[in-house]
Amino acid sequence: MNTRVTSATRAVKKNHSALWRLALQGELLCYVLGIMLQSVKDLLESVLSGQLYRIVINLSTGASFQNAVWQMLLLTGCLLLVAGLMLAGSALNMKSSARADRRIRSALLHTLCHIQEGTRAAQGLGYWTNLMGRDLDITGESYKTKWPSMAARAVSVAGGILILLTYSFSLTLFCIGCGMLYFVLIYSLRARAGRIQKQSFQKLEACSRFMGEMLKGLPVIYFYQLKEYFSQKYQGQIHSYLQVGRQNARMSTLAMGLRNFGYSFSYVGILIFGLALVNAGSLSIGDFMYLWSIGIGVAYGMQSLGTQILEYQENQAAIQHIEEALSLPVETGGQEAVTGYDLQWEQVSFGYTEQTPILHQISLQIPQGQKVAIVGASGSGKTTMIRLLLGLYRPTKGDIRVGDVSITQASLTSLRDQLAYLPQSPFLFDETIRENLRYSRPQASEEELEQALAWAGLSDLLSRLPQKLDTVVGPNGSKLSGGERQRLGLARCYLRGANIFIMDEMTSALDAKLEEEIVSRLFSLRDKTVICITHKLAAARLADRILVMDQGRIVEDGSHETLLQQQGVYYRLTKGEEK
């Protein structure tokens, strides 16, 4: 991510209105110029239409034909000028809008990639799916079409009023009145339209989130025969969303009806009022026909502004979503580089809230190269302790040091370059084995890839695959077994060449023999620190040291033999496993 996007993202977090500053940085002049060229077009079209009416009227009242021809030639030249302005304005607008779109998408992706783990998970899949799709598209339309269109209407109205004032003050007031009547009616609906659009977004997001949960839980739904239950529940959410949609449709129908009435009233009303002025001798018929088109443009432009303000509420809801996302807290790190690999927890406590502490004053030292197993019941704090080391969360109290550097002062890039992490269910992209491995080290050679697979016990699998390393593993490795996915994740860790290996239930899908082979290879890595979370005590026996956790505390610490002799928690765990 380049420095410009990163700095712009920080600006957005300080001030929501800076979203457009982010979008148009370096492009503001180009964008404004494009809008102005497009804006002048609407006004010139009204003026030229009126001039055409004037030429025809003048010819019918005995004006010089030769003079009319010259006026028509001039009119044609002006029409070509209008077309040129429109093309130039559109080109400038498209160029600046495309770059603005890239900047907002890049800034949003930057935030997503650096967002705090707890915040990301709390938002849910539906939130991010709608944000990165629908909301970005709607926001893009704001500065691609909505703003230029609103600016064009505003310029057309202002210019038309100035021209009308040079001929007739009363006609000017009448045209403004025609436009204001509709504008005020539509503007009064603005707040209600905003609420409806916000509700619509919330309902759609809820539907997307629910659908995401259903897709994840389809095996459970099939097994427990819950299809009808979840189908009815989803239909209920869809019905709720459609109810809001009907409110929006009624609002749009009302706005459209008022708009059609306003345009018809203006068209006929300005004609009648203008002819009355001609009859009274205040205007010539030629001047009125010239002003009629301009007057309609003023009234219709004001009406269109009202409609566009109403439509902009949908855009505003999407813009607000993006502004909120860009303001979410992101990971923060220091500037210090990690050089040593001894690990130390100093009175570390952690809880998602003050009322629910998970870890209590953990103090621990792990020298470089030591092989450590962490065991304990589910919910004892094992994984949370590791997530603090990964920098996904910050300790509520205390500190964690890698070498001589606190993780709060360490550069996150420097810290994570030293870590190889394997969760219980490693995520695999729907790509080839080669690509999934090279995410760990892009410059790895073919020989190094095969060596990593062999180390993880996947040589036999590779030999059976016709496409070898070019085999596509499917979404999240669906074409592989659970054990194969775990070993491919382990090969990716080995290939990384990190100094600290963190394994979370890495052998949960392996049989006992293969588990012992893999753990033995892992624990035999010289000078590599290995921290292995496991429920399988057979794997823990091979470690130099075993930490036993219970209710967020380390209650026992020692080798397998030492802990058995103490006949404490670990001893009871081994007896329970034997049974």
Say which CATH number the domain at 170 has: 1.20.1560.10
Please indicate, yes or no, whether residues 62 and 188 belong to a single structural domain of this protein. yes
Query: Which of 467, 512, 516, 509 is closest to 488 using CA atoms?
Result: 509
Q: Are residues 123 and 266 in the same domain?
A: yes
Give the per-residue pLDDT at 305: 77
Domain-ending residue, one of 301, 326, 351: 326
Q: Domain of residue 272: give its range.
A: 3-326
- How confident is the model at residue 248, as a pLDDT? 73
- Residue 419 and residue 456 in one domain: yes
Of 300, 326, 352, which closes a domain? Answer: 326
Per-residue pLDDT 10s for the chain (579 aa) are 344 444 434 443 443 445 555 555 556 666 677 777 766 666 777 776 766 666 666 666 665 666 666 666 666 666 676 667 667 677 776 777 777 777 777 777 777 777 766 666 666 666 777 777 777 777 777 777 777 777 778 888 888 888 888 888 998 888 888 888 777 777 676 667 667 777 777 777 777 777 777 767 666 676 666 777 777 887 787 787 777 777 777 777 777 777 777 777 888 888 888 888 888 888 888 788 878 888 888 888 887 777 777 777 667 777 777 777 777 777 777 788 888 788 888 888 888 776 678 888 888 898 988 888 888 887 788 888 888 888 888 888 888 888 888 888 888 888 888 888 888 788 888 888 888 888 888 888 888 888 888 888 888 887 887 888 888 888 877 888 888 888 888 888 888 888 888 888 776 666 677 777 778 888 888 888 888 888 777 777 888 888 888 888 888 888 888 888 888 888 787 776 544
Q: State the total domains in the chain.
A: 2
Regarding whether 12 and 147 lie in a shared domain, the answer is yes
Last residue of a domain, one of 326, 358, 373: 326
Q: List the beta bridge partners of residue 351.
A: 357
Is 542 within a domain? yes
Question: Is 560 within the bounds of a domain?
Answer: yes
Contact call for residues 117 and 393 (beta carbons, < 8 A): yes
pLDDT at 162: 87
Instruction: Return contacts of 362-369, CB within 8 angstroms, 24+ apart.
Output: 362/398, 362/552, 362/553, 362/554, 364/547, 364/554, 364/557, 366/342, 366/529, 366/531, 366/545, 367/342, 367/529, 368/340, 368/341, 368/342, 368/499, 368/527, 368/529, 369/526, 369/527, 369/528, 369/529
User: And the tokens for 186?
Assistant: 């539509």
**CA terminus-to-terminus distance, the chain:** 54
- The three-state DSSP-derived secondary structure of 199-240 is HHHHHHHHHHHHHHHHHHCHHHHHHCCCHHHHHHHHHHHHHH
Do residue 369 and residue 268 come from a single domain?
Answer: no
Whether 193 and 256 map to the same domain: the answer is yes
Rounded Cα distance between 129 and 258, Å, is 36
What pLDDT, on the 0 to 100 scale, is given for residue 26? 55
Output the pTM of the full model: 0.66
Q: Hey, how many other C-beta atoms are within 10 angstroms of the C-beta on 58?
A: 19
- Whether 256 and 249 have beta carbons less than 8 Å apart is answered as no
Examine residue 337 and state whether it is found in any structural domain, yes or no.
no
CB atoms within 10 A of CB 87: 13
Cα–Cα distance measured from residue 171 to residue 52, given in angstroms and rounded to the nearest whole number: 20
In whole angstroms, give the CA distance from residue 55 to residue 384: 82
Specify whether 288 is located in the same domain as 359: no
Q: Are residues 412 and 487 in the same domain?
A: yes
Neighbouring C-alpha atoms within 13 Å toward the C-beta of 418? 27
Angle, helices 147-165/169-187, rounded to nearest 10 degrees? 150
**Structure-token pair, residue 257:** 């009806």
**C-beta separation of 1 from 120 below 8 A:** no
pLDDT of 1: 38
What tokens were used for 19? 């979203």
**Is residue 273 domain-shared with residue 410, that is, in the same domain?**
no
Q: What is the Cα–Cα distance from 42 to 297, expressed in whole angstroms? A: 8
